[in-house]
Homo-oligomer: A and B are copies of this chain.
Amino acid sequence: MSEAVEQRTSHNGRRGGVTIQEVARLAGVSPATVSRVLNRDERVGEEYRERVTTAVGQLNYHPNQLARNLRTSSSAAIALVVPDITNNHFTEMVATVEAEAYRHGYHVLVCSTDEQPDKQVTYLEMLVGERVLGVIISPSDPNGREIGRLIDEGIPVVAFDREVSDRRADAVIADNIAATREVTNLLIGAGHQDIVLVAGRPDVETGAERIQGYEEAMRSARLRPRSINLDFRVQGGYEGVGGLIDSGDPLSALVVSNNLMTLGALLALRERGVRIPEDIAMVAIDDPIWASLIDPPLTTVAQPVRDMALSAMRVLIRRLGHDASPPERLIHRFELRVRASCGTVVR
């Protein structure tokens, strides 16, 4: 963490560029007036406004954001704190938020916490130091104390996908319980009994909810729920499902908790020559773009990530406008996409 500090201390020699003073001089007005024009202050006279505008043009003046940031004690940055950018789910989210942010003149800081609570703490500390305007977070640790600190400092926080414990944050989440119940019921309806859930970490909210939905469905059908808890990565799905097969325990269908684990599961099954859905049926949460291309096409429930990201940005932008209405909790629904892998469809 020290390198960045060292670099910056030796960086002062950079030549300054045009300042607001020079623009003021050329336009024959005060710096204050230039500033007002730049900030769209209504009360500047038409003639002054024009003189400033042309002076700005002639000098090719660009305001120093750093000075602005210090003076206003804020920046133009929105921070995105996610557990893992390479997870397609979050990539879509980042892409959507970035496009929206650009439209509104913000820029985005991407912080990947790697599911590590302390990386989250470090990043959040950094973010209050940088006075980011707002943060959208999919927490690795929903209780992370720094979350409250952001809100204390007046920085709005929108929880995405997973809630945070601080009740002052807004939240945009998906109905994980209903979605997992639905896909599990689909397998039960097809006559499966030995259905195992390849679950993500139960200490992560979405993980826990998916387990809950699965267990509800199983219990309603008087079946014994059985799940393996792994981390939400390719490796997790690969090792978990590999072990499951190798154990020889009865198994006729899998519910897999997210797209990365699905990839791992498929690798493990393919290596062992297990056929889907003949030997084992499979359904997955998340609908990555390759789901319809693999053999067999995968039955999934799709999470409306882009819509969720847009919701999150909408709420955040409202908060940036100092909307102090009570925290919102927006719940989005998944969409079932039945394909061949669950064995209920003629191929």
Find the B residue at minimum CB distance from A127.
B107
Chain B hits for A5, CB < 8 A:
38-40, 105
Interface stretch (choices A43-51, A73-81, A204-212, A224-232): A73-81
Q: Which of A56-83 contact B (CB under 8 A)?
A: 62-77
User: Does the CB pair A293–B263 fall under 8 Å?
Assistant: yes
Measured between beta carbons, the chain B residues less than 8 angstroms from A128 are 62
Contact A65 B267 (CB under 8 A): no
Residues of B within 8 A of A3 (CB): 104-106, 317
Q: Which of B7, B91, B129 contacts A65 (CB 8 A)?
A: B129
A153 and B14 in contact (CB under 8 A), knowing A7-B133, A105-B1? yes
Instruction: Say whether A72 contacts B107, CB under 8 Å.
Output: no
How many copies of this chain sit in the oligomeric assembly?
2
Interface residue? A331 (CB, 8 A): no
Chain A 306-347, CB-CB to B under 8 Å as 1, else 0, gives 000000000001001110000000000000000000000000
Within 8 A of B (CB), among A121-143: 122-123, 125-126, 128-131, 133
Is B263 a contact of A289 with CB atoms below 8 Å? yes
Residue of B nearest to A2 (CB): B105
A109 at the interface (CB under 8 A from B): yes
Does A201 count as interface, using CB distance less than 8 angstroms? no
Known contacts being A64-B129, A86-B91, is A7 close to B70, with CB within 8 Å?
A: no
With A69-B66, A109-B109, A321-B7 as given contacts, are A14 and B74 in contact (CB-CB < 8 Å)?
A: yes
Q: Once bound together, how far apart are the Cα atoms of A12 and B322, in whole Å?
A: 12
Q: Which 9 A-B pairs have the closest CB atoms?
A: A295-B295, A4-B105, A1-B105, A290-B290, A11-B74, A65-B129, A66-B70, A70-B70, A3-B104
Please list 30 pairs of residues, one from A and one from B, whose beta carbons are closer than 8 Å in the complex, sorted by A's number.
A1-B104, A4-B106, A5-B38, A6-B39, A7-B74, A7-B320, A9-B72, A11-B74, A12-B72, A13-B154, A14-B154, A66-B66, A66-B130, A67-B70, A69-B70, A77-B109, A85-B94, A85-B95, A86-B91, A86-B92, A86-B95, A94-B110, A95-B112, A98-B111, A102-B112, A107-B123, A263-B290, A290-B290, A290-B294, A293-B294
Binding site for B on A (CB under 8 A): 1-17, 38-40, 62-77, 84-86, 91-92, 94-95, 98-99, 102, 104-112, 114, 119, 122-123, 125-126, 128-131, 133, 153-154, 234, 263, 266-267, 270, 288-290, 292-295, 317, 320-322
